[in-house]
Amino acid sequence: MGGVPREQRAFQYVLAHAVPGDPRHVLLAFDQWGHRREHLSNLGPRKGRIVERLVQERAPRAVLELGTYCGYGTVLLALGLPPGARLYTVEADPQHAAVAEKVELIVGPSEEVIPRLKEQHGLLRADFVLMDHWKRRYLRDLRLLETHDLLAPGATVLADNVIFPGAPHFLQYAKTCGRYRCKVHRTSLEYFRAIPDGIAELTYTGPPPGPPTGP
- Enzyme catalytic residues: 132, 135, 160-161, 190
Neighbour-count burial of 172, counting CB atoms closer than 10 A to its CB (0-12 exposed, 13-18 middle, 19+ buried): exposed
- Which residues does 27 contact at the CB level (< 8 Å), separation at least 6? 45, 48, 72, 75, 76
Q: Output phi, psi for 103, to 5 deg.
A: -105, 135
What CA–CA distance (Å, rounded) separates 130 from 58?
Answer: 13
C-alpha count within 13 angstroms, C-beta hemisphere, residue 96: 22
Complete edge-to-edge strand list for the sheet that includes strand 180-189: 106-107, 86-91, 62-66, 126-131, 151-159, 192-204, 180-189
